[in-house]
Structure 1
Amino acid sequence: MIHLKPDLSRLFSVLDTTWPAAARVETGPWTLREGRGGGKRVSAATARGAWRVDDLTAAETAMRLMGQPALFMIRPGDETLDIALEAQGYDRVDPTNLWLAPIDHLTDLKLPRVSAFAIWEPLAIMNEIWEDGGIGEARRRVMDRAAQPKTGLFGRVSDRPAGAGFCGIHEGVAMVHALHILSDHRGKALGGWMMRCAALWAARKGARWMACAATAENDAASALYASLHMEVAGQYHYRMYQSEGEDA
């Protein structure tokens, strides 16, 4: 089955597994996530069944008791929930594209020498690069708790550290997260080589598909993934009160 093109249900499972919450609780019609500062993806509640208005109140209360803002991920099929949250004053934030390609679209070229490496555990310099991109300790703990197979990605330009990323595999799909290139080294094709490095590593682990998620407003990421012949396979966004903040 892993060779079949992933449907959206499988892609969201990959997203959940390769970038996992600190804790997940299935209660009533919701899956609640405890993010511990790791961002929206690991903190948002998702609907898993029919719900009523009082179920919304219960979910909001539970999230706030975890010390988190009331935050919902809206996936395809959640249109009724989306409308209800908008009516209650929730803002639509961070529309995000899920990108997908057969892995052999990214394994057809040999990596330039000393350009990109698959490394686990991350080097200290990789943590410094992530810090530069706002990927702090709480997000790096997300990488730590992800199950194997997983790897860090380390990129170099002109023999200098230049980029860092993370990749995990679930159900035959490799998903790249936290890809950051230092500003002095952007526009030098490193992002593409790091994605290809991830694909070569993942193919050796048996993955058949390559995926990633990027906000729709991230033009640089969209251009990179399109250049690698990846396609948008689906979208999601969040609903959150304007007065409550949580990083992506």
Structure 2
Amino acid sequence: MNVTAHQLYEVCDQTWPAARRFDLGKWTLREGRGGGKRVSAATALDAVCAEDVGQAEIDMQEMGQQPLFMIRQGDDALDALLEARGYPIVDPVTLYTLPIENLTDVPIPRVTAFTIWEPLAIMAEIWAEGGIGPARLDVMSRAQIKTGVLARWNEQPAGVAFAGAHDNVCMVHAVEVLPHQRRQGVAEWMMRAAAFWGQSQGATHVSVLCVTQNVGANALYRSLGFAPAGRYHYRQSPE
């Protein structure tokens, strides 16, 4: 079974959920409460015009949010509208997928990676060092089916990740490896630990999102066999 980009958009919404997501007019709006772009961006439900964009801007401003739109596959007309309004492109993202058995073919060495929820204090500390603070931990807590991943390497804490499951997909978010533990295979073991957990939840595929400019992470996921399944980017108001 192939996993489509539009399926992954919904998996992302379910495994990295906004504080509030609701449909209004021609838009799905998200209230992020400081949790980042993915939980704050508006997405189009149908073809939209300049007047519709103006109304979405008002609605987001009334929530105390800077107008922000996620441009998904098929949103070319919206993309052009926003470009004409002076909205720059922000954070192009690739959605990757991989059949889950491709990451569960190797046993994880003892005391290398653990799946844990609620997060331990050391996990929150590692996330914080990577810029993932309380608002994003709140995002994690809202997911229905979830786990954290804690990695150890050189007999010390090494990294963390978060995974959620929805619609037969295990999606991995918030992968962080401590600087002195990088380039030693830690991220790979965390992805494998997430895959074993996802398989226990009935998932058939693993997915991860990666911004284009993160060259190292893109290279890692491709080396593990992940293939692009779709893309999106944001357009954010310059005001």
Note the aligned Cα RMSD (angstroms).
Answer: 0.8
- The alignment status of 1:213 with 2:209, answered yes or no, reads yes
Tell me the TM-score normalised to structure 2 length. Answer: 0.98
Pairing partner for 1:23 from 1, 20, 26: 20
Q: Specify the alignment match of 1:171 in structure 2.
A: 167
| Cα deviations by residue, 1:31-88 (Å, 9 ceiling, x for unpaired) | 0000000000000000011222111111001101111110000001000000010000
Q: Is the 8 A contact 2:70 2:233 kept in 1?
A: yes
- The alignment status of 1:91 with 2:88, answered yes or no, reads yes
Pairing partner for 1:111 from 108, 123, 133: 108
Q: Specify the alignment match of 1:185 in structure 2.
A: 181
After TM superposition, the runs of 4+ consecutive aligned structure 1 residues lying more than 4 A away are none
- The alignment status of 1:239 with 2:235, answered yes or no, reads yes
Q: Distance in 2 between matches of 1:171 and 1:200?
A: 16
Count of aligned positions: 239
Amino acid of the residue matched to residue 136 of structure 1? G
SS at match of 2:144: coil
SS at match of 1:90: coil
SS at match of 2:158: strand
C-alpha deviation, 1:25, in angstroms: 1.6
SS at match of 2:70: strand
Q: Specify the alignment match of 2:44 in structure 1.
A: 47
Q: Distance in 2 between matches of 1:25 and 1:13?
A: 13
Amino acid of the residue matched to residue 165 of structure 2? I
1:112-131 aligned within 5 A:
112-131=109-128
C-alpha deviation, 1:242, in angstroms: 2.9
Note the residue ranges of structure 1 that are not aligned, 5 or more in a row.
Answer: 244-248
Q: Distance in 2 between matches of 1:54 and 1:227?
A: 45
Q: Is the 8 A contact 2:97 2:207 kept in 1?
A: yes
Q: Distance in 2 between matches of 1:96 and 1:9?
A: 14
Q: Distance in 2 between matches of 1:228 and 1:204?
A: 20
Q: Specify the alignment match of 1:246 in structure 2.
A: none
Q: Specify the alignment match of 1:76 in structure 2.
A: 73
Q: Distance in 2 between matches of 1:85 and 1:184?
A: 41
Note the residue ranges of structure 2 that are not aligned, 5 or more in a row.
Answer: none
Pairing partner for 2:223 from 203, 227, 237: 227
Amino acid of the residue matched to residue 11 of structure 1? L
